[in-house]
Amino acid sequence: MTRRALVLGGGGITGIAWEWGILAGLAEAGVDLTGADLVVGTSAGSVVGAQVASGIEAETRYQAQLAPPDGELAAALGRGMLLRFALAMLGPAGAQRFRARVGRIALRARTEASEADRIAVIESRLPVREWPERRLLLTAVDAETGRFRTFDRHDGVPLVHAVAASCAVPGVWPPVSIDGRRYIDGGVRSGSNADLAAGADRVVVLAPLPRGIGPMTGVGKQVEALRAHASVVLVTPDQAALAAFGRNVLDPANRAAAARAGYAQAAAVLEEVRPVWS
């Protein structure tokens, strides 16, 4: 039985940092979300989720977010790519059709890093290599069909590849090859995919990017559906955190500020989270 589920949404480098800040701040106050029976990770949340489910302490990873981003380059979606995404939303109706159009954009895009280089970067930043025993679901989208896919330890897919697929932002990073298919960011379906926590009794959702755009489902609707059968709390960035994120969530220069903002925000959400988790 899944009693407690932790959902970690996407939000780039700043989203990773903010989530670690929230987790560390809550843990210090006595609410340890890392003990979840189920962890759901999407995009940035897949990076955090893989480590949470593996038992890595939030404080350790929070401190790592405060290190200077020496040698790390900022990535960004250019105006041309954003225009292509906007046009993809104007095509034939249907969420999967939309995701397939975005997938085609991703497959055709010229990215700075190759697929192999990107996987190597993910591996170098991920202090775990094997799937944890605890239930962990990582999300991705088939770039050709638009079909939504989750990966877990029973699929025979290397953890690093599953995380890389979930983080493959279309037009920024190349799609990731798994079992003959190419996969892109799970956030193309939903920023958090919180509906995967259905069946849990208590759910905490950390959503750096809560809004839905076009066919991409916002976390609010998914949380409302979960509340019909579970106690749920949704945590989204406050104004200080949004300011720390800046305009580019893929810029490592904003990582430390985002982490500190999450750590500070934890005190404000503590009394909302505690009764749900405990």
Q: Catalytic residue among 46, 54, 142, 185, which?
A: 185
Closest CA to 7 of 190, 274, 193: 193
Q: Which two tokens stand for residue 108?
A: 């055709």
Element (H, E) at 87: helix 79-88
Tell me the HSE value of 113 on the side-chain side, using a 13 A CA sphere: 21
Tell me how long the chain is: 278
DSSP code of residue 254: G
Q: Catalytic residue among 43, 46, 54, 192, which?
A: 43
Q: Is 142 helix (H, G, I), strand (E, B) or coil?
A: strand
Alpha carbon distance 269, 16 (integer Å): 18
CB 187 within 8 A of CB 262: no
Residue burial 140-161, b: 16+ Cβ < 10 Å; e: rest:
bbbbeebbbbbbebeeebbbbb
Closest CA to 205 of 193, 190, 188, 189: 193
Residue located via tokens 């939030």:
58
Alpha carbon distance 50, 29 (integer Å): 23
Tell how strand 38-41 and strand 231-235 pair up: unpaired
185 catalytic? Reply is yes
Alpha carbon distance 136, 50 (integer Å): 7
43 catalytic? Reply is yes
82: Cβ–Cβ under 8 A, 6 or more apart, which residues?
Answer: none
Residues with active-site annotation: 43, 185
